[in-house]
Chain A
């Protein structure tokens, strides 16, 4: 075979190969679109006016109404289950399945009047005995629930029992008056007794029987949850026929799916992709200052008192000094790419009437306070050493913690930042062993200052991660139990917040700015309490 013939053969081979590759790509593309449109007919998709597709990082842990806990799970559960009262987007408590409530004279019994005509998913009437069952099931220790209802709500209201007085009348009993009980009870999902009595706990976790606006149509674990309108729910008319929750753990992928038009709404747009969404023609950014407080806790427990920094932070002047060292607006602008204001107390600004100012950025004042507290700079410029522990993947991906470490080092407090995997970090905080400085973000509420303060409900409360035990602050809780007068309650709370500010157990940073990506196809306004409601 001549050289020219060989070259011709090779060219033909190359052309044939390229044709095959192009044909394969065309086939793959056609198959994808055919399958997508088939799926569209079967289960609807983004772009269908009756469907909204929402992406979040995590799948639901469980759809057992008594056991839901994580924020992502709660978002789905709120679509499936009604509550006696609920919180409006503006942060007001409003009737939902119940039309009214009344406290008994001693404040230890709360009587709820249910609306008439309520129904379970199977069409049977939803009555007071279903409400009672919902409380009893969540409070039953033999169920070993660890979710929000059993872990927080039931113990917080000091629930002692529930009685049914009629088909629409039910009373919840508590051991003492609690001014925020209605708000807490607004987080308890109401479930129907009959379907759940016939389900094991395992079945109940995956087969929800709805009492809310939507019911479960399909749940493909770690992939999607498809909800469709619950025809038995008549209280409100949902905006969409179908809500599809897609589970996409990686923030960049969620953003890409949003820009590609495959989803309508995504949570947690990464800071470095905010501009990409803003500059796109298909989606926009919606931000809201959330009720989640990001702070650095001072762990004052004995375990840390033998360390250099652990000993220093026992002194309130040191704790106050460190507050002046952080330039919070710059941290937000530079790392979160979103403006945010410095938090003054643990109560969200709309509920805070204490008048307590946020600590301004004033490193000179910080240095003076440290000098006065007996911690002058040494020859190496260091006053003392501290360790700050933080999760690697939350609250700004560890960058915020690094920045704080640098700001503290700038005033002579040599700060070592330990970034830990979330699994390890959460275990440490739960055991109150993170520290002596630790970065944390805990959720407040839109509806009550007292709820926001309940993290510090007692010196030994599980959520008092700092071990702060200021007697004046904690005495406030006793006073609050003894009054039902709103103005008096407000006065006591304000005094407690002033005490909190002076004692400075938390280095308040900011209320977390939540960043959502929203398709131009839909109109949606984010809520400060991180709830995603589309009904």
Chain B
């Protein structure tokens, strides 16, 4: 187990090195980054002075070492638009994105698991076909289209839900105002439903298909047949014996899904004016705030790696047959 964790940590370090290298090079892809830091009326002398002050006149390897050294000391650069450390800006926006991703994950699970099991149990029936059709639809439609349709139908047509905005929950909780954060939950839900459902739909569809496939495989195994022959109720066979094993691949995927939800919310946050990291990155790209984009990418990468590692460890706990030191 220790060996497995050590190996995964080493692999993670390599991945982070790759990510930092790519983010560093992205700064130089559009040309001389000095021009990001000066106004367009700056003289050649001012531009040269800024270039020297920021170290952009040094060879690229030297610049990368300075950049990496900064990262090791928690310095991810200063946001050009917010004029504050980029890491502070990203972390300030992170609770909003985490809130949306968690809501979407919960919604997806609430619907996907029962639907997937139902489709597996009713295999080949119109009900199974209907569920799979919806799942295919969910995996095919672009989230921006779904989001705009929801805004038009639910927000503008029916006036049931607010079109954009947010009531903070996790921000309050992280700031230590736990009671206030929890009290905000009922007010926050109306704002969460449309953006949450929009990003949940894809995950829901994919998870439904996975649950169905996994359940079908498990239901055909001998031990399930044995359980049935012992006279156990169908609810106990499916809900207890089959589900435990059928959920293993789902758990693996959920870790990745959470990473996907966290990092894949750019479009949804922009459409619903949700003040999270996704929208922050979108704005940062438009405002050429490269340090902010770099920081968000690195933090997303680290989150992804941590989630992956957690999933692997959880996997071993759920299935004792799996040996992580192999």
Contact = CB atoms under 8 A, between A and B. Distances in A.
B141 interface: no
B35 interface: yes
B93 A222 contact: yes
Interface in B145-160: 148, 151-152, 155-156, 159-160
B303 interface: no
Interface in B35-87: 35-42, 81-84
A427 B161 contact: no
A253 B163 contact: yes
A32 B161 contact: yes
Nearest to A425: B30
B164 A253 contact: yes
Report the 5 A-B pairs with minimum CB-CB distance, sorted nearest first: A151-B39, A32-B190, A222-B275, A35-B187, A427-B30
A427 B37 CA distance: 11
A431 B288 CA distance: 14
Interface string B10-35: 00000000000000000001111101
A256 B166 CA distance: 17
Nearest to B276: A222
Given A58-B283, A421-B285, A423-B288, A249 B273 contact: yes
Contact of B151 (A201, A223, A246, A253): A253
Given A28-B161, A249-B283, A250-B270, A256 B39 contact: no
B326 interface: no
Given A246-B165, A262-B163, 7 more contacts: A29-B160, A32-B187, A146-B39, A202-B84, A249-B283, A423-B286, A461-B41
Interface in A175-234: 201-202, 205, 220-223
Contact of B81 (A61, A259, A424, A463): A61
B189 A28 contact: yes
Contacts of B166: 223
B40 A151 contact: yes
A427 B31 contact: yes
A453 interface: no
A252 B151 contact: yes
B144 to A, nearest CB: 9
23 contacts: A28-B161, A29-B161, A29-B190, A32-B191, A151-B42, A155-B41, A221-B82, A222-B280, A223-B165, A246-B273, A247-B273, A252-B271, A253-B151, A253-B164, A253-B273, A260-B155, A260-B163, A393-B286, A423-B288, A426-B288, A430-B40, A433-B31, A462-B41
A247 B166 CA distance: 12
B282 interface: yes
A31 B42 contact: no
Contact of B41 (A151, A424, A431): A151
Contacts of B38: 146
B231 interface: no
Contacts of A248: 164, 273
A121 interface: no
Given A222-B283, A248-B273, A462-B42, A31 B187 contact: yes
B272 A260 contact: no
Contacts of A61: 81-82, 287
A59 interface: yes
A201 B273 contact: no
A373 interface: no
Contacts of A256: 151-152, 155-156, 163
Nearest to A33: B190
B193 A252 contact: no
A36 B188 CA distance: 11
A159 B90 CA distance: 38
B192 to A, nearest CB: 10
A382 interface: no
A476 to B, nearest CB: 20
Interface residues on chain A, size class: 35 or more
A477 to B, nearest CB: 16
Interface string A380-416: 0000000000000100000000000000000000000
Interface residues of B, number: 53
A18 interface: no
B167 interface: yes
Interface in A15-34: 25, 28-29, 31-32, 34
B93 A202 contact: no
A257 B272 CA distance: 10
Interface in B270-324: 270-273, 275, 279-280, 282-283, 285-288, 290
Interface in A48-91: 58-59, 61-62, 69
A431 B30 CA distance: 10
Nearest to B49: A141
Nearest to A261: B159
A422 interface: yes
A25 B160 contact: yes
Given A146-B39, A152-B41, A223-B166, A205 B187 contact: no
Contacts of A156: 41
B126 interface: no
Interface string A462-478: 11000000000000000
Given A248-B164, A257-B164, A28 B193 contact: yes
B92 interface: yes
A202 B189 contact: no
A43 to B, nearest CB: 12
A35 B167 contact: yes
Contact of B39 (A31, A150, A250, A422): A150
A428 interface: yes
Interface string A255-283: 01101101000000000000000000000
Given A222-B279, A257-B163, A393-B286, A249 B270 contact: yes
A253 B198 CA distance: 15
Contacts of B156: 256, 259-260
A155 B46 CA distance: 13
Contacts of B83: 62, 201-202, 205
B162 interface: yes
Residue of A35, A69, A202 with highest tally of chain B CB at under 10 A: A35
